[in-house]
Amino acid sequence: MHKELETSSADTQGHDTHTGSTVVGAQVKGASLYRIGKGTTRGSVPSARLQIYKVCSTEGDDYCYEADIFAGFGDAINDGVDFISLSIGGPPSEYFKDVISIGSDHAIEHGILTRAATDNNGGYPNIVPNVAPWILTVTATDRAKQYKTTVGLENRV
């Protein structure tokens, strides 16, 4: 990571702590969301080993440098991870110019699938990043769990 930026590995926004616990979180009894749906919850695979690579900082105007994102992909590939999950959004760009598209292409060449978020802003039609065919792209719906638009794929699925 660039030296002038924050070098702590601490999650200052809490987002990756949340997404990490979604995957490897231990069982919690009596969990609820605002006292709705009280029950037992746990992460998807509590026995999994989680490795976290911090490639962005909270300081500066441009706090996610392409070189740092590439380095994160390289470190994950060299460490032999089985899966890469990214929570980095941004404007869409052409595959051959996009750091996440290129990094995930290198990962898939090593048998590593990359999951990437579309973005956290939503509400903007036809603006979806991380859509290279070798990326598992995920998104969310509104609070009513209704899709805001119809998505048409070439294979009509």
- Is residue 13 included in any domain, yes or no? no
- Is residue 61 included in any domain, yes or no? yes
Provide the pairing of β-strand 135-138 with 36-41: unpaired
- Is residue 115 included in any domain, yes or no? yes
Collapsed DSSP state (helix, strand, coil) of residue 18: helix
Residue 88 predicted with pLDDT over 70: yes
- Residue 43 has a pLDDT of 81
Question: 119: domain range?
Answer: 47-138
Measured between alpha carbons, how far is 113 from 104 in angstroms, rounded to an integer? Answer: 7
- Is residue 134 included in any domain, yes or no? yes
- Residue 73 has a pLDDT of 96
- Please give the tally of structural domains in the chain: 1
- Is residue 37 included in any domain, yes or no? no
- Residue 80 has a pLDDT of 92
- Is residue 98 included in any domain, yes or no? yes
Of the listed ranges 80-84, 108-112, 115-119, the least confidently predicted one is 115-119
Each residue's pLDDT tens digit, 12-44: 666 667 677 777 888 889 888 788 888 988 888
- Is residue 56 included in any domain, yes or no? yes
